[in-house]
Structure 1
Amino acid sequence: MPSEILLDPYNYDFHEDPYPYYQRLRDEAPLYRNEELGFWALSRHHDVLQGFRNSSTLSNKFGVSLDPASRGPHAAKTMSFLAMDDPSHLRLRTLVSKGFTPRRIRELEPRVTEIAIQHLDVMMDKAAGGAEPVDYVNEFAGKLPMDVISELMGVPQPDRDQVRAWADGVMHRDEGVTDVPAAAVEASLNLIVYYQEMVRERRHQLTDDLTSALLEAEIDGDRLTEDEIIGFMFLMVIAGNETTTKLLANAAFWGHKNPDQLAPIYADLTRIPLWVEETLRYDTSSQILARTVAGELTLYDTTIPDGDVLLLLPGSAHRDERVFDRPDDYLIGREIGSKLMSFGSGAHFCLGAHLARMEARVALEEFFKRIHGYEVDEANSVRVHSSNVRGFAHLPITVQSR
């Protein structure tokens, strides 16, 4: 008798390596039910993709997290339009898009490069030409994304360390904690108060940052409220900061584990975007996203009741051998294209996908301009423990400088 399949997004063993669990789900329980934690889950590529695209029956209005405190009608306060359905979602997303434009992202690239270089200068100094191990997350991958978001929003330089510390506090979970801990609630409130003050300052004096652009965004007299602006800023912190940090560390880790795949990149840095895409497929930061069934949904001859939670597992979908050849092999340059779901799909496709890809490309380019090799200290690497994102809290490396 095979052991019962268990999917527990809070389990530390699952965090270490979820992929064997996903394999069993795809093969044995493509529609999975966990009675104890009260959710359903879809693991096959086709089903996850259809799930992302079905924004009428699969609702976002209670948020996209399984954590009880993050779920509910209040979710939009911190998750903005990610926790809304149309027409509210479309209205807010369209207004935000007026400020968060592809052009603004393009124009940000020189500053992203400067910020990356600043952090790399410090990290390479500490690495002492390869003599000392350095924490790639602490010194680089964990700093750059939040500083880029702060740059975009207009957070003054002296405040950025504090803002970054609060952002980290929002996401941290200790083992066995299946809800939002008090420290994370406190960090969230501190961030919200800080952003409220920033919005008030911009009302008195507009600048050329995203916060001002959001205040000015207007369609036929309709403008964003202060709560809506702060909700979007908070979403940027959670969705934009955390996932990009994880992407950068996951790329470094899997590059180290697959030196044959990385070798061509040292010789040709234009291949870095291919490295980023394969990392997004192979070990995506966003592993699990929740939806709430609205009405009735029948899958695999099973009717899922109205109001039930359904988890979509892009982390599993990307390893589905029904869609990818040799899915468990890390192959930089493989054909991925629209099969990637790291940024979702359909109406809720991530507005920050361009920004994340640009940041990752710039960060890895600048890093590789300085080195001709690096080693990860796997024994002292520490994974993040989260019910929906996957990556490293600490990734000690030694580098061989060019």
Structure 2
Amino acid sequence: MRTDHPDHQDGRAPAERPVDYDPFSYEVQEDPYPIYAWMREYAPVYRNAERDFYAVSRYADVAAVLRDPARFTNRNGISLEPSLWGPQAYKNVFFLALDPPDHATMRSLVAKDFTPRHVGQRTERIRELTRRRLDPLLEAGDSFDFAADFAAAVPNDVVCEMLGIPEADWDTIRTDTDLLTKRENASDERSPDTLAAAFRLATYYVHLVADIRKHPSDNLTSILCQANVKGVKLSDSEIVAFIFLIVSGGNESTGKLIGNAWYHGWRLPEVQRAGLGGRFGDWVNETLRFDNSSQMTSRTSTEDTVLHDTLVPAGSRVVVLHAAANRDHRVFDDPETFDIDRDTRKMLSFGAGPHHCLGGALAKVEMEVVMEEVAKDVESYEIDAANAKRVHSAHQRGFQSLPTTVKRHRRSVRPSFV
């Protein structure tokens, strides 16, 4: 079911560059895909001298870099922000700033809780948390903010509960986590609001870890508090870094993915009908490929490397654009088309190699459950696009606000697919 008909359906871009690629630019963030298309064709190894990084955008190059931690290391972190880049990155992003074998050692402490089997066991609880957010919105009327009041809330609730964060604090945690990515246009520096939110969260998590060390329970934070790595327990700062990582991933990536799927369902009525008609997995998967919330990550080159006749010197920052790779016409036919019938198995939305997204299975289940529960009550919907607001983040793409009006099912019984 192909529902888009852009001017360049084959994914090739006109020779004229749309804009310079700067991930901190609001103009790029509003619609990065034209510049991605240009980069894939005319600058597969793009150089931004002002920001001092190289960027790869073709599918083969993105996959190769992600799968080669020996030549493209995580040791300086995965973000271009000066405060998050460098040898100290481990303090901020925990095992994401490690390479094998250290990365696997740390990741294994919680990996089993994110396997498809364990995630499957959480499905009914995810459904309960979804209804707890959705039912009050529907009871209040037919119009609500799908992004702010629902899509962002459910994944945050799930990960907060998994970490042992008291329910009374979930919304506060979400509000401050949203502020962590706030940047002014073209700025890579943290705003005062961001710094204040980071301090509040760090203080909260320090107290949470101290309390859970005294009163362990059945949650991920307790597992980390009790874990031993080569005979040494994790420090409080390491556990706090892990909590930041998991909450941010659940809050930012999954919540924005749900909103992106909802937006494209509004933009493309055939997708909306098919999605609400029961094709939840197809709707989710094509959203992941076509408009992933996670746009890019970063690596450091460990040796001089030549890609497409361009020298990437050792020690260079390398931006890896998996969202661009997902629209490479060398891999996907008509990649600029949102095609709910597409085979998306080759998409790189959750990365590749040893740093393949830990929460990928959880994210997909959350998205499918959310859409399934909405479809039980909603026949169709409209978005007030004039008042929709995007977030501005170098890494994350999605909506801060999606004002929505829904049309309920007229029949008293729910759809037959339930």
Q: Shared topology, TM-score over 0.5? A: yes
Residues 1:87 and 2:101 are matched in the alignment: yes
Contact conserved, 1:67 with 1:387, CA < 8 A, in 2? Answer: no
2:389 maps to which of 377, 382, 386: 382
Mapped to 1, the partners of 2:217 and 2:246 lie a distance apart of 19
How many angstroms does 1:348 deviate by? Answer: 0.3
Amino acid at match of 1:334: R
How many angstroms does 1:359 deviate by? Answer: 0.7
Match of residue 286 from structure 2: 278
Sort the Cα spacing of 1:290 and 1:376 in 2 relative to 1 into closer, same or farther, 3 A. same
C-alpha offsets along residues 74-107 of structure 1, whole Å, 9 cap, x if unaligned?
2222211112122321221122325555554333
Contact conserved, 1:286 with 1:388, CA < 8 A, in 2? Answer: yes
Mapped to 2, the partners of 1:46 and 1:317 lie a distance apart of 8
How do 1:143-292 residues align onto structure 2 when only pairs under 5 Å count? 143-218=153-228, 221-267=231-277, 269=278, 271-292=279-300
Mapped to 1, the partners of 2:167 and 2:240 lie a distance apart of 20
Aligned partner of residue 351 in structure 1, secondary structure = coil
Mapped to 1, the partners of 2:272 and 2:400 lie a distance apart of 23
Amino acid at match of 2:403: P
Mapped to 2, the partners of 1:284 and 1:311 lie a distance apart of 16
Amino acid at match of 2:36: Y
Contact conserved, 1:40 with 1:311, CA < 8 A, in 2? Answer: yes
1:398 maps to which of 392, 400, 405: 405
What fraction of aligned residue pairs are identical, expressed as a percent? 39
How many angstroms does 1:227 deviate by? Answer: 2.3
C-alpha offsets along residues 55-74 of structure 1, whole Å, 9 cap, x if unaligned?
11111111111111111122
Amino acid at match of 2:369: V
Aligned partner of residue 315 in structure 2, secondary structure = coil
Sort the Cα spacing of 1:219 and 1:80 in 2 relative to 1 into closer, same or farther, 3 A. closer
Mapped to 1, the partners of 2:131 and 2:272 lie a distance apart of 22
Contact conserved, 1:99 with 1:213, CA < 8 A, in 2? Answer: no
1:139 maps to which of 149, 154, 178: 149
* Matched positions, count: 395
Residues 1:352 and 2:359 are matched in the alignment: yes
What root-mean-square deviation, in Å, do the aligned CA atoms of Structure 1 and Structure 2 show? Answer: 1.8
Sort the Cα spacing of 1:175 and 1:159 in 2 relative to 1 into closer, same or farther, 3 A. same
C-alpha offsets along residues 320-377 of structure 1, whole Å, 9 cap, x if unaligned?
111101111111131111x111111001001111111111111111111110000111
Structure with greater proportional helix content: 1
Runs in 1 of length 4+ with deviation above 4 angstroms?
1-5, 98-104
Residues 1:311 and 2:306 are matched in the alignment: no
Match of residue 86 from structure 2: 72
How many angstroms does 1:379 deviate by? Answer: 1.2
Unmatched tracts of structure 1, length 5 or more: none
Mapped to 1, the partners of 2:149 and 2:19 lie a distance apart of 39
Aligned partner of residue 171 in structure 1, secondary structure = coil
Mapped to 2, the partners of 1:7 and 1:103 lie a distance apart of 40
Amino acid at match of 1:157: E
Contact conserved, 2:264 with 2:271, CA < 8 A, in 1? Answer: no
TM-score (norm 2): 0.90
Mapped to 1, the partners of 2:59 and 2:377 lie a distance apart of 38
Q: In terms of mean alpha carbon deviation, does 374-383 or 196-205 score higher?
A: 196-205
TM-score (norm 1): 0.93
Aligned partner of residue 180 in structure 2, secondary structure = helix
Q: In terms of mean alpha carbon deviation, does 99-108 or 297-306 score higher?
A: 99-108
